[in-house]
Amino acid sequence: MRNTKKRDWILTLILIAIVTVFLVYVDKNMHYSMLASVIQKAAIYSLLAVSMNLLNGFTGLFSLGQAGFMLVGAYTYAILTIPMKQRVNVYQYFDGGLLKFTVPVVVGILAAGLVAVIFAWLVGKPCLKLKSDYLAIATLGFAEIIRAIVQWDKLGPITNSSNILKKFPTFHSILWPVVISAFCIFLIILLINSSYGRAFKAIREDEIAAEAMGINLAKTKMQAFLTSAFFAGVGGAMLAMFQSSVQAKSFTSAMTYEILLIVVIGGIGSVTGSVIGSFLYIACSEWWLRFLDDSQTYLHINIPFMRGGFRMVVFSVIIMLIVLFYRQGIMGTKEFSWQGILNAFQRFKREKAGVDNG
Amino acid sequence: MHSASYYLELLLSGITVGSLYALIAIGYTMVYGILRLINFAHGDIFMMAGFFMVYLSASMSPVVAIPIVLILTVLLGTTIERVAYKPLRSAPRMSVMISAIGVSYLLENLATYITGGLAKAYPVIPFLKKTFTVGQMTIKTITVITPVLTIFLVVALVSFISRTKTGMAMRAVSKDFDTARLMGIRVNDVISYTFVIGSFLAGVGSILYFTNYGQVSPLIGAMPGLKAFVAAVFGGIGSIPGAVLGAYLIGICESFIKSNDSIAIFSNAFTFVLLIVVLLFKPNGMFGEKDNEKV
């Protein structure tokens, strides 16, 4: 038992070392490549998917407010960190805006999470009492309300109304989004494996039984909701940094659906599943399936149906197939483990040996 | 200050929009009543009905196109039920809802692909576009036809549900799925009828809505769809008169909010504020049935 633990640590450290070297290489030599952009976006989406999974997969609360909390995070970060010199330029219709100070990036990211938590508390207080699908629609509605409030012209001096926010500090290296996401996901894993996490799972399995076991339903649900919102806010701030501009109109419910589908692809209730799911999803939608959008000629035959938008159709059909026939997703509720990999490897070897002998 | 006729016009336009929400809301409330499923794809069925009309009317007169559009919409709705919801009958509710979101995503992407993502002009249906004047006001025929037709359809539907055998079966299934099955009701058929009715009304709604609005675009269905759902929740899910009343309330309030420039941006958000308020104080809606949580 002790040996396997030691072995797992060593394997994990080796993996981290390999990934770090790879990232540094990509960062140095192909900073502007598709690969670099996919790595950054997928890392950010991993965090967003894991934070949504914490609610939907581990606590069994079907919330669709993710885009709203991301918007709050992205806006908080952008508003707080735009350098003073640039404010006149960005807030050109509002005399340079109301805020007369700037905070460092780290403070901005933390503030993004905290402000999202405040909003989550305001939403959660009335909404968390609701049953599954009513909660879904209420949180979806909340995201729409936030989007409208941010675009209100009376708030222009702070939120720049419906105009774009830009010129705030962004990532200089692709390592940052990966490191921050990895750290946040690590914190979430610690939480899930703690007694808090066990309370979340108890609520998912059976609310009434959980209550009978002495779990305070309202309090525990709120804890899960606030934690999820915090990381959604941080993820939103990172998304803003990645895109180098923010505009409220892009945080639609379609964005929430996208993250929900990533969670489903990876497996509802699996952290590593969500991470794998977001890398696959982002790589496919941004990169590997791009060719479907251009007209292709194979063997001198022009394939007529391949044009702009075809990629997304193929993509949504794949998602539907997963939802209908492969409901467990990639990982189900299982997590990645070295033992699992080794077992699979040994099984493979044994089967091969069996084939050779027979 | 505005004249009285200005407010009357706002009220009329609110009633028109409300009628359209009502037609969509019935589809939501019936499906939810029976399957306990928020059919997220319903708004997109409404959008697809708009595109059917655009493409069909390119080759035939609108009068011929209307029945074909309605048939295609019904086919689309029932096909979605067969393919995406039926296989998940025994799955957890969250899975079915995710499947509905997946269908909505697919329909939106499909429409974007086919149209190239651009809004298309909706064909002019001559007898709906006519105008006439009463006093100082110019009124479009469609403003009058919409509420009249809606009320007619709602009355027809309510009597269908309360008078016919199929309607009785629907009520039974929405009360208790398993018992209804034991009583010899073909539950799957009843569910199909529900989708036929819902899609048909969404089709009628789409003709009226887009004639009023002038153009169709791939993402246009989502917002009216959500608002119609809120209307259904407001009225008490499963209650058809409740959904219609909720729809009119939302339509009229929206019309007044939109007319005031300083708060016009909240016209969508208002609906959701209403939703949250209703859920807080009357979780079963204004006319909803009480249900007791069972262990």
Identify which of A92-101, A342-351, B4-13, B206-215 has the greatest average pLDDT: B206-215
Which amino acid does the sequence have at B113? Y
**Reported confidence tier of residue B205, pLDDT bands at 50, 70, 90:** very high
Q: Positive or negative CA dihedral for B5, B9, B10, B14?
A: positive
Chain B CB contacts of A257 under 8 Å are: 101, 104-105
Distance from the B100 Cα atom to the nearest Cα atom in chain A, whole angstroms: 9
Residue A130, CA distances (Å) to A124, A126, A137, A161, A233 in order: 10, 8, 10, 32, 23
- Which of A145, A154, A327 lies closest to B95 in CB terms? A327
- Per-residue pLDDT at B292: 46
Query: Over 70: is that where the pLDDT of A300 sits?
Result: no
For the residues A248-276, what does the mean pLDDT come to? 90
pLDDT, tens digit, for every residue of A43-100?
999 999 999 999 998 998 989 999 999 999 999 999 999 888 888 888 878 877 777 7
| Min Cα separation A324/chain B (Å) | 7
Asked if residues A255 and A74 have their Cβ atoms less than 8 Å apart, the reply is: no
> Which of B99, B268, B269 shows the shortest C-beta gap to A323?
B99
pLDDT at B295: 40
B99:A320 CB<8 A? yes
What's the pLDDT at A2? 61
What is residue B222's predicted lDDT score, i.e. its pLDDT? Answer: 83
Check pLDDT > 90 for residue A286: no
What per-residue confidence (pLDDT) applies to B1? 61
Within-domain flag for B259 = yes
Helix, coil or strand: residue B132:
strand
What number of CA atoms fall less than 13 Å from residue B127's CA on the CB side? 6
Domain-located, residue B138: yes
Q: Which domain holds residue B103?
A: 4-281
Mind telling me how many Å the CA of A231 is from chain B's nearest CA? 22
> Would the CB atoms of B279 and A153 count as touching at under 8 Å?
no
Calculate the dihedral angle through the C-alpha atoms of A74, A278, A62, A329, rounding to the nearest 10 degrees: 180
Tally the domains of chain B: 1
Does B238 reside within a domain?
yes
**Interface contact flag, B116 A308, Cβ < 8 Å:** yes
- DSSP letters, A114-168, are HHHHHHHHHHHHHHTTS-HHHHHHHHHHHHHHHHHHHT-GGGHHHH-TTS-EE--
Evaluate if residue B293 carries a pLDDT over 70. Answer: no
Q: Helix-strand-coil percent breakdown of chain A, rounded to 5?
A: 75, 0, 25
pLDDT of residue A301: 64
**Tokens in use for A175?**
């390592």
pLDDT at B291: 56
**Locate tokens 């403070």: which residue?**
A107
Report whether pLDDT(B44) > 90.
Answer: yes
Q: Return the pLDDT at A199.
A: 94
Q: Do A145 and B273 touch (CB under 8 A)?
A: yes
pLDDT of residue A297: 62
Q: How far, in Å, CA of A61 to CA of A135, rounded?
A: 8
Query: How open is the CA angle A244-A179-A90, to the nearest 5 degrees?
Result: 15
Q: What is the CATH number of the domain that holds B73?
A: 1.10.3470
The residue that leads in pLDDT, B182 or A347, is B182
Distance CA A265, CA A259 (A): 10
> Which is nearest to B266 in space by CA: A41, A70, A149, A301?
A149
The strand ranges marked E within chain B are 120-121, 131-134, 137-140, 215-216
Q: Which residues of A touch B295 (CB under 8 A)?
A: 208
pLDDT value at A1 more than 60 = no
DSSP H/E element including A347: helix A338-357
Q: Tell me what pLDDT residue A5 has.
A: 80
Which of A132, A254, A323 lies at the smallest CB-CB distance from B102?
A323
- Whole-number average pLDDT of chain A: 87
- With respect to residue B242, please indicate whether it lies within any of the assigned structural domains: yes
d(CA A335, CA B15): 54
Interface ipTM above 0.90: no
Domain range annotation of chain A: 34-252
State the pLDDT at residue A74.
95
**Rounded to 10 degrees, what is the CA torsion of A237, A240, A244, A247?**
-140
Give the whole-angstrom CA distance, residue B157 versus residue B33. 15
Best of B103, B278, B279 to disrupt the A interface (most A CBs within 10 Å) is B279
Residue of A nearest to B114 (CA): A309
> A133 to chain B: which residues are within 8 Å by CB?
36-38, 93, 97
pLDDT digits over A218-241, tens only? 999 999 999 999 999 999 999 999
Range name among A20-24, B150-154, B244-248 with the lowest pLDDT average: A20-24
Residue A84, number of CB atoms within 10 A of its CB: 12
Instruction: Give the mean model confidence (pLDDT) for residues B226-236.
Output: 87
Query: Could B276 and A134 be called an inter-chain contact, meaning their C-beta atoms sit closer than 8 Å?
Result: no
pLDDT, average across residues A290-318: 73
- Section A171-187 average pLDDT: 91
Is the pLDDT at A150 greater than 80, yes or no? yes
Judged by CB atoms closer than 8 Å, whether chains meet at B265 and A148 is answered as: yes
When pLDDT is averaged across residues B152-179 and rounded to a whole number, the result is 90
Return the pLDDT at B288. Answer: 67
| Closest Cα in chain A to B270 | A145
Under 8 Å CB pairs connecting chains A and B tally to 126
**Which amino acid does the sequence have at B45?**
I
Residues of chain A with pLDDT > 90, as a percent, come to: 37
| Mean pLDDT on A288-308 | 68
- DSSP one-letter code for A302: E
pLDDT at B294: 40
